[in-house]
Amino acid sequence: MLNPGSPRPRRLRKNDSVRNLVRETGVQAADLIQPLFVIDGDGRPEPIGSMPGQFRHTIAGLCQECRELFDLGIQAVALFPSLEASLKSPGGEESCNEQTLVLRAIRPLKEAVPDMQVVAHIALDPYTTHGHDGVLTPDGQDVDNDRSVEILSRMAVLNAGAGADFVAPSDMMDGRIQAIREALDEEGMSRCGIIAYSAKYNSAYYGPFRDAVGSSKAAGTTLLSKAGYQLDPANARQAERELVLDELEGADILMVKPAGPYLDIIRLARETTTLPVAAYQVSGEYAQIHAAAQMGWLDLKRCRDESLLAIKRAGADLILTYFARDVAATLRGA
């Protein structure tokens, strides 16, 4: 028997009402950003085999999807183009085509759902035949940092001009946040924000995403290794340096990617900056929860919700997650 007056923490866990009163962390629909994939054409959405419940949408389908997401309380989407192979090239020239797919998608999306915040993906991996986030050096052995930054800056201006509310450079090139901020401001686009992929790790969890955007054909080759610019999973101090630099260069929001395996980095980001912190629960995190649930090993909804709570508890203000729609529907009771 405990002595009278002994601590009894279970008093705060005795029933739902008490647990709800003292709950420290919650995930709301407005905290979530839904990543969406867009393709050309007029057909039905294409299911993505490695990502159950996710699709490549045509532009018309994308607009309808965003209407439904907004009605559920999702207030931001991140767009990723999936291009035909014929449009890809070593230099990724299609990225700066003023009629490229994602620009043609942003305009009608903003007309259909004006208050939906549109986040444009700024990197070259959907546009290059080699799948890298930038263009290669003449010898093909490395990514050319400065040439890539010039192209990324032009991409950012084009996406902002089409109506994107935020541009999100995911390339991890040195100096790209400052260059993009300057380019946007020079073009009179100072209202467009930057969500910087500040601590993006060279992770094994990106495979399904590369399948979704069609950059997976080089997967497993030496060429596609992104270790030369993405962060080493063993390192935290380098992440802190990247976070500090991106804030100094003009980022509005700092991001950690992936989320679940890097909760310590999310906490580091939260303690490093007063800017909002975003975290990207990536395709591999989503796929593994679905795969285990399909095998009957895990409860899908409980693991989904617990994974998001962990990311929020670690310090993320915003979460990019493929679960966004389902979570929002659950919160609405739909």
Is 257 one of the catalytic residues? yes
DSSP summary character for residue 46: E
Cβ atoms of residues 90 and 45 within 8 Å: no
Say what the pLDDT of residue 224 is.
Answer: 67
Q: What is the mean pLDDT of the chain?
A: 95
For residue range 113-130, list pLDDT tens digits in order. Answer: 999 999 999 999 999 999
- Cβ-based neighbours of 158, under 8 Å, separated by 6 or more: 96, 98, 100, 103
- Confirm whether 4 is domain-assigned: no
The residue annotated as part of the active site, out of 110, 200, 226, 312, is 200
- Confirm whether 45 is domain-assigned: yes
**Nearest-angstrom CA–CA distance, 324 and 73:** 10
Strands in 5-111 per DSSP E: 32-38, 46-47, 55-57, 76-81
- Confirm whether 12 is domain-assigned: no
Say what the pLDDT of residue 213 is.
Answer: 84
**Nearest-angstrom CA–CA distance, 125 and 102:** 14
**Nearest-angstrom CA–CA distance, 225 and 218:** 9
The residue to which tokens 């909760």 are assigned? 263
The residue to which tokens 């002994």 are assigned? 6
For residue range 259-309, list pLDDT tens digits in order. Answer: 999 999 999 999 999 999 999 999 999 999 999 999 999 999 999 999 999
Is 110 one of the catalytic residues? no
Confidence check: pLDDT of 5 > 60: yes
CA–centroid distance for 326 within its chain: 17
Q: Lowest-pLDDT range, 33-47, 87-101, 153-167, 204-218?
A: 204-218
> Can you give the residue range of the structural domain that contains 217?
27-332
Q: Residue 330's pLDDT band (boundaries 50, 70, 90)?
A: very high
Please calculate the CA angle 256-176-198 and round it to the nearest 5 degrees: 10
Say what the pLDDT of residue 30 is.
Answer: 97
Residue 221 or 324, more confident: 324
Q: What percentage of the chain reaches a pLDDT higher than 70?
A: 97
Q: Residue 221's pLDDT band (boundaries 50, 70, 90)?
A: very low
Q: Residue 217's pLDDT band (boundaries 50, 70, 90)?
A: low
Give the chain's domain count. 1
CA–centroid distance for 287 within its chain: 15
Q: Lowest-pLDDT range, 127-131, 136-140, 210-214, 321-325?
A: 210-214
Mean predicted confidence (pLDDT) in 39-65: 95
Mean predicted confidence (pLDDT) in 300-323: 98
Q: What is the pTM of this model?
A: 0.95
Phi, psi torsion values for 27, nearest 5 degrees: -115, 125
Say what the pLDDT of residue 255 is.
Answer: 98
- Confirm whether 17 is domain-assigned: no
- Confirm whether 20 is domain-assigned: no
For the domain that residue 163 is a member of, what is the CATH number?
3.20.20.70
- Confirm whether 273 is domain-assigned: yes
Q: Residue 207's pLDDT band (boundaries 50, 70, 90)?
A: confident
Say what the pLDDT of residue 334 is.
Answer: 66
Mean predicted confidence (pLDDT) in 122-151: 95
For residue range 59-111, list pLDDT tens digits in order. Answer: 999 999 999 999 999 999 999 999 999 999 999 999 999 999 999 999 999 99
Q: Name the region of 332 (left: φ>0; alpha: ψ -120 to 50; beta: rest).
A: alpha
Say what the pLDDT of residue 216 is.
Answer: 52
The residue annotated as part of the active site, out of 110, 226, 257, 312, is 257
**Nearest-angstrom CA–CA distance, 96 and 167:** 14
- Confirm whether 186 is domain-assigned: yes
Confidence check: pLDDT of 222 > 50: no
- Confirm whether 175 is domain-assigned: yes
Please tell me the chain's helix, strand, coil percentages from 3-state DSSP, rounded to the nearest 5: 45, 15, 35
Confidence check: pLDDT of 215 > 90: no
Say what the pLDDT of residue 219 is.
Answer: 42
Confidence check: pLDDT of 225 > 90: no
